[in-house]
Structure 1
Amino acid sequence: MTGKSFSSVWLREPRKAGGPGRSREEIVKAAVELLDEEGLQGLSMRKLGAKLSAGATSVYWYVANKDELLELAYDEVWRMMTVPDPEEVGWRDSAAALAHSMRRVILRYPWAADLIGRMPALGPNAMRVANGMRKMFDLAGFRGLDIDFANSTLTAYVFGMTIPEVAWNATMGDLDDYDADKTREMVRKAAADYPDMLKRIDMGSYEDPAYMRELCFDFGLVSLLDGLERRLTT
């Protein structure tokens, strides 16, 4: 019995441009633009071909299907992430900068949140980020599988905090559109049976929800890095 074969656009040599058609770089750029405009459901070979004014044939020269096209676009998202050299800035600053960069990029390209966990991150940009993470945790003093576990812990935190934020932004939109007084009253009613919680609720202080979410993200990130650093001394 043979198992399923694993396929990826990154597991074969890229095709060189054929004839006067569009280059792979142009196709990927257009795909990202289309994803920004219409999301995952709006991407199709037909629409992309129309956007390129080249027909779907040019697209199929480089990719076999929509999933392969998404792999190319997904790797472009990883290209936007920065990994400072830990030998220059230290492993903690490098990890913190990468985590904040990952969050910003996912929020900037919310369609990518739906690809995390179901789309292989095997492209050169994703590999660059993964290698940078390996380097930072090796420099910190982690060894063997602990390097992989530290990598997974950091990315799980970023994804776990950011993907729900993407979903909130998609469903709730801009909180400035909501009546602040009515929102505060709604929260007070919901927490009426929990007086200790009411003491902690001060909706007037949340003048900039995006800023507060960033503060919350940073609080958790610092706590996570403190925990990883503690493991190195035990």
Structure 2
Amino acid sequence: MTKGFSSVWTREGRSAKSTPGLSRDQIVRAALELLDAEGADGLSMRKLGAKLGAGATSIYWYVANKDELLELAYDEIWGEMVIADPEQVSWRYAAASFGKSMRQAILRHPWASRLIGRMPAIGPNALRATDRLRHAIAVAGFEGLEIDYAISTLTAYVFGMSIPETAFNEYLAKEEPDEEAMRAAVTQAMADYPEMVKRVEAYHNLDASQVREMSFDFGLYTVLDGLEARLVT
């Protein structure tokens, strides 16, 4: 049995003049605060109503369920993603600015990583950002379906690097592990692989956040190098 597709973005909006009490912007801002503080599991209509000091009626005026509320919040995250104007800078700079901005948005709002691939990004902010990225890729010289393939390659890289990073950050925030003990355990597990042990030791005195930043940039520009190489073959 198939399930019909529904989205807060595809149904008729409510008139602001007849809205009881709260505005949608107020509801979305409060939902974002709850999500950032407690994650997706911590968001509920009851908690949101209590935070806003309002009954469920005001919330349900705008959203039919929690998923629609998440859609609204998810699109706000896309609104934080910045991409330089491809008419003013090179396509590589524009694409790189988008990739870095997307990573930072996901890290600021780790709950959003659970929506990637499950919830379509079809809100106004997401479509605006995606269209500008599409334009940058087209300016580079890609045509037809290859524009979509290039965008998918870039975003898949950002997701692939950022989602595990958010999970690790959440683990560190909850567990506060003994880093020295963790390093010792990893080194012991790699005892039969001395070259790998050397790699672990090489990171010992480095700032972990800076290493992750450099690692992300290395991969990002490598992806862009690969895309650029396809244009000259």
Counterpart residue identity of residue 195, structure 1: P
Corresponding residue for 2:182?
183
Identity %: 60
> Is residue 17 of structure 2 the alignment partner of residue 15 of structure 1?
no
Cα gap change, 1:141/1:33 in structure 2, threshold over 3 Å: closer, same or farther?
Answer: same
Corresponding residue for 2:63?
63
Partner SS state of residue 173, structure 1: helix
How much has 1:38 moved relative to structure 2?
1.3
Instruction: Tell me if the contact between 1:103 and 1:162 (Cα under 8 Å) persists in the aligned partners.
Output: yes
Instruction: Tell me if the contact between 1:184 and 1:203 (Cα under 8 Å) persists in the aligned partners.
Output: no
Corresponding residue for 1:228?
227
Corresponding residue for 2:4?
5
How much has 1:64 moved relative to structure 2?
0.8
> Is residue 120 of structure 2 the alignment partner of residue 120 of structure 1?
yes
Cα gap change, 1:194/1:106 in structure 2, threshold over 3 Å: closer, same or farther?
Answer: same
In the superposition, the TM-score normalised over structure 2's length comes to: 0.94
How much has 1:219 moved relative to structure 2?
0.5
Residues 112-151 of structure 1 aligned to structure 2 (within 5 Å)? 112-151=112-151
Moved more, 178-187 or 40-49: 178-187
Corresponding residue for 2:218?
219
Corresponding residue for 2:100?
100
How much has 1:178 moved relative to structure 2?
4.5
Counterpart residue identity of residue 65, structure 1: N
Moved segments of 4+, more than 4 Å: 177-180, 203-206
Q: Distance in 2 between matches of 1:180 and 1:210?
A: 14
Q: Distance in 2 between matches of 1:51 and 1:197?
A: 50
Corresponding residue for 1:195?
194
Q: Distance in 2 between matches of 1:206 and 1:147?
A: 42
Moved more, 17-26 or 154-163: 17-26
How much has 1:171 moved relative to structure 2?
1.4
Instruction: Tell me if the contact between 2:20 and 2:58 (Cα under 8 Å) persists in the aligned partners.
Output: no
Cα gap change, 1:215/1:33 in structure 2, threshold over 3 Å: closer, same or farther?
Answer: same
Corresponding residue for 1:209?
208
> Is residue 63 of structure 2 the alignment partner of residue 84 of structure 1?
no
Corresponding residue for 1:25?
25
Instruction: Tell me if the contact between 2:74 and 2:112 (Cα under 8 Å) persists in the aligned partners.
Output: yes
Q: Distance in 2 between matches of 1:8 and 1:209?
A: 39
Cα gap change, 1:19/1:86 in structure 2, threshold over 3 Å: closer, same or farther?
Answer: closer
How much has 1:4 moved relative to structure 2?
3.4
Number of residue pairs matched? 232
Measured on the aligned residues, the alpha-carbon RMSD in Å equals 1.8
Counterpart residue identity of residue 135, structure 2: K
Cα gap change, 1:65/1:183 in structure 2, threshold over 3 Å: closer, same or farther?
Answer: closer
How much has 1:188 moved relative to structure 2?
2.1
Counterpart residue identity of residue 69, structure 1: L
Q: Distance in 1 between matches of 2:45 and 2:136?
A: 39
Cα gap change, 1:6/1:20 in structure 2, threshold over 3 Å: closer, same or farther?
Answer: closer
How much has 1:181 moved relative to structure 2?
3.8
In the superposition, the TM-score normalised over structure 1's length comes to: 0.93
Instruction: Tell me if the contact between 1:206 and 1:212 (Cα under 8 Å) persists in the aligned partners.
Output: no
Q: Distance in 2 between matches of 1:204 and 1:91?
A: 33
- Show structure 1 runs of 5+ residues with no match: none
Instruction: Tell me if the contact between 1:75 and 1:125 (Cα under 8 Å) persists in the aligned partners.
Output: yes
Instruction: Tell me if the contact between 1:36 and 1:109 (Cα under 8 Å) persists in the aligned partners.
Output: yes
How much has 1:20 moved relative to structure 2?
4.5
